Amino acid sequence: MDAVRAVERLTRSIEDFNSLFIRLPASDRLNFSALSVLHTLSRRGPCRLSDLVRTEQIKQPALTSAMAKLERDGLVERSPDPSDGRASMLSLTSDGRSIVSRRHADRAEQLGRLIDRLPPADRTRLLGIAGVLDRIVQLAGEQDGKPDERSGQ
């Protein structure tokens, strides 16, 4: 298989996996956009609404509405931006962090059950790929001019 076809196959596999993984049952009744915002805030830390508009790829009015609901639900809080008093920084509350943590634990448990059904050699190969995927995320962040939050770079 040539490199182009191999990348196309990998892309399809990742898309299929993402579709499955996103649909794994959640522990909380929040829509995808709200969960994505909570996850982003947990990974990046406090940020402005304008930063979330870029990362979440939704229009500002929709995100503003979603953030207002997350604030009302006690999952996100605002604080003054220390570098610009006119702006606000958004961050997770302890309840917001708890949801992200529970969702991660639920997904890890469910994924673990699926992985356990693989032959041992496939399990080993799959579990060894996390570092490569982390590096791809880091490279994508560098390409976008944003450091990868996990690596602290």
Whichever domain contains 62, its CATH number is 1.10.10.10
Contact between 43 and 150 (Cβ < 8 Å) = yes
pLDDT band with cut points at 50, 70 and 90 for residue 83: confident
pLDDT band with cut points at 50, 70 and 90 for residue 148: very low
What pTM did the predictor assign?
0.77
Determine the structural domain holding residue 65 and report its residue range.
Answer: 30-93
Question: Does 45 fall in a domain?
Answer: yes
Predicted pLDDT at 145: 62
Number of domains in the chain: 1
